[in-house]
Structure 1
Amino acid sequence: MQIHDAVVLVTGANRGIGARFVEQLKARGAGKVYAAARDVRTIEADGVHPVELDVTDPEQIAAAARAAGDVQILVNNAGISTGTGLVIGDEQAIRREMDTNFYGPLLMTRAFAPVLAANGGGAVVNVVSALSWFATPGSGAYAASKAAAWMLTDSTRLELAGQGTHVVGVHMGLVDTDMAAEIQAPKIAPAELADAALDAVESGAQEVLADDWARLVKRGLHLDPAQRYEQLFAALGQG
């Protein structure tokens, strides 16, 4: 479908990747952009419709679906990273990551699926991660939540096919945002990532491998785990 004149809702739209999605949507002539964030005072974009939304709050999600009944494209972008491991990490931090990174887009998709159906099918864009396919020390909770988000993307693509909803999964390595500020490694620009995701909406592509790192990880999925991690750690300079 075309972005021009489309009605789009973006979660986590106040900064980072979400803010760049809003910019790219406006540049492509979207008809209306709902910019959703937990605190709408942090949304700096002009010409958008602010929506107060915490994606871990079912009541706020239901209210957003009622208020934004004209949405044609849902961008599930909101996410967190706590740097928590799975074995000895804080259990509440692990649950927070799952609540935000998996249950958030799940509940948003469930709430907006009827809206999209009523508006012609539309599209769902899930911002996932190359960490849906591997983990590094300290990234266990984030990787687990993103692996769940990958399967959410695959499953909802099948479940929503009958109503004509196009579901896109967006995978990338590091993005130049506050979340990755302390990591010294090549990073993709947030605007470049948003642009690749919106290109997929318009072209009908189902998966975006937005950078070299995502493509490298995806190519190695057929390998035995020992070989796969040897390859990945060598690419990280840890081999």
Structure 2
Amino acid sequence: MQIEDRAVLITGANRGIGRAFVTEALARGARKVYAGVRAPEAVDAELAENPRVELLRMDITEHGSVRDAAETARDTALVINNAGVAVFGSVLEGSMVDARRVFETNVFGTWAVARSFASSLKEHRGALVNVVSAISWFSPPQNGAYAASKAAQWSLTNSMRLELAPHGVLVQGVHFGAVDTDFAKDYTGPKITADEVATMSLEGVEAGRTEVLVDEPSRLAKAALTDVPDVAPSNG
């Protein structure tokens, strides 16, 4: 689908990857960008005062909030499911409260947005973009809950694609490694920019691509899915 002259909704739009998606959608000629944020009053002036941007108070973990947003933004043709959270800790000893919060946001929040906007996407024969992660395909130490939530999000993305394709709706999953945002501020390895994620994703939307692997780590992670797990129990 072409983004020019279409209405786009982006969750978690105030910073990081979400903010980059706002900029890229506007650059591609979006008629309107609905910027889903939890606190519109805290958004900076550049975003709040843009005449083509409409701020929506939207917490994807509160399904009433999501339904209200879908009612307001009924002309939406492209939904970008970007909002998410992460926690660090052992899957065996870490906080289950934190783990549930991760799943409520990354899995059920993403799910709620897709359900609430499905009618609009079908009407406009539009597209749904789920911002997943390369971590959907591996589980690093002390990040298992986040990895599990992203694996579930990937599976949901595949299910959504099957259900929406007969209605002319593209469903795209976006995967990448470390991105230079607040989330990865303590990571010292190579990082790509949020702009790279947004640009490659929306290029993919306009080209009809159902999966976008933004960087080499995401491509390697996808290719490694057929490998045999190499961690065995110790005999010591």
User: Normalising to structure 2: TM-score of the pair?
Assistant: 0.94
Q: CA deviation at 1:160?
A: 0.9
Q: CA deviation at 1:162?
A: 1.5
RMSD: 1.2
Task: Tell me what 1:74 maps to.
Answer: 79
Distance 2:89 2:40 in 1: 28
* 1:56 equivalent among 61, 85, 104: 61
* 1:173 equivalent among 171, 177, 184: 177
Task: Tell me what 1:223 maps to.
Answer: 227
Task: Tell me what 2:160 maps to.
Answer: 156
Structure 2 alignment gaps of length 5 or more: none
Task: Tell me what 1:4 maps to.
Answer: 4
* 2:196 equivalent among 189, 192, 197: 192
Task: Tell me what 2:13 maps to.
Answer: 13
Residue 100 of structure 2 aligns with an amino acid whose one-letter code is R
1:178-227 per-residue CA deviation (whole Å, 9 max, x = no partner) reads 00000101111000100000011000011010001001111111110118
Structure 1 alignment gaps of length 5 or more: 230-239
Residue 155 of structure 1 aligns with an amino acid whose one-letter code is S
Distance 1:2 1:165 in 2: 12
Determine whether 1:88 maps to 2:93: yes
41-50 or 5-14: bigger deviation: 41-50
* 2:215 equivalent among 187, 192, 211: 211
Distance 2:89 2:38 in 1: 23
Residue 80 of structure 2 aligns with an amino acid whose one-letter code is V
SS in 2 for 1:167: strand
Residue 178 of structure 2 aligns with an amino acid whose one-letter code is L
Distance 2:151 2:56 in 1: 28
Determine whether 1:103 maps to 2:114: no
User: Normalising to structure 1: TM-score of the pair?
Assistant: 0.93
Residue 150 of structure 2 aligns with an amino acid whose one-letter code is K
Name the count of aligned residue pairs: 227
Residue 21 of structure 1 aligns with an amino acid whose one-letter code is F
